A = this chain, B = another copy of it.
């Protein structure tokens, strides 16, 4: 635990916010991520996070002050992991929409498959505490960059390649198709009678289908 002391340590001003040991800090963050994503913030116990991190409960408070602050950190981190994977690709001016959509589909199906609780967690938190995203978006990034995709959609429409569709609808459709099935996986499996292998088959099918389905939906 005892790391070679924070490198950003200046000698004169006696620091106010303790930077604290980065290693244990990360251990707690990782533990919190596991617990929070699995159970949601409200049903998670700081004690369980501490245990998961192999650390005393008080230490969690030492590093993050309050459960809510820790929850914020985890949520912000999750958001920061997810959004660039979608909007990073969408904002690329050097790739056509026909290239971007399959790329995002592949990327997201891989990403979400590897993190079974991620989508459900995100949606749940969004619903449980809608103000949080306002707060967070204000602090960091801000709006999402839609100009590239807007331009590409407009040009495609002018060329008769696409139907007239706003980038907002485009994004809503894409995210709905990609994320929703993961967010409600247990229900979907029960509803459709999927066991785990059939779920994976479903995802494989989806990987092939979605790009065509989505692009066909774009055409007039």
Q: Mark A residues whose CB is within 8 Å of B.
A: 39-40, 42-43, 117, 120-124, 126-128, 130-131, 133-134, 137, 143-144, 146, 163, 165-166, 168-169, 171-173, 175-181, 183-188, 190-194, 202, 205-206, 209, 212-214, 216-220
Complex CA–CA separation, A165 to B208 (angstroms): 11
4 nearest CB pairs, A to B: A120-B127, A130-B186, A176-B180, A217-B217
Contact between B209 and A146, CB atoms less than 8 A apart = no
Please give, as numbers and ranges, the residues of chain B lying within 8 Å of A137 by CB-CB distance.
190-191
Name the prevailing secondary structure of the A interface residues.
Answer: helix
Contact between B191 and A181, CB atoms less than 8 A apart = no
Given contacts A127-B186, A169-B206, A216-B219, 10 further A-B contacts (CB under 8 A): A43-B128, A117-B127, A130-B187, A134-B186, A134-B190, A146-B192, A163-B213, A169-B213, A172-B180, A176-B177
Query: Taking the nearest CB of chain B, how far is it from the CB of A111, in angstroms?
Result: 16
Query: Taking the nearest CB of chain B, how far is it from the CB of A138, in angstroms?
Result: 9
Contact between B123 and A128, CB atoms less than 8 A apart = no
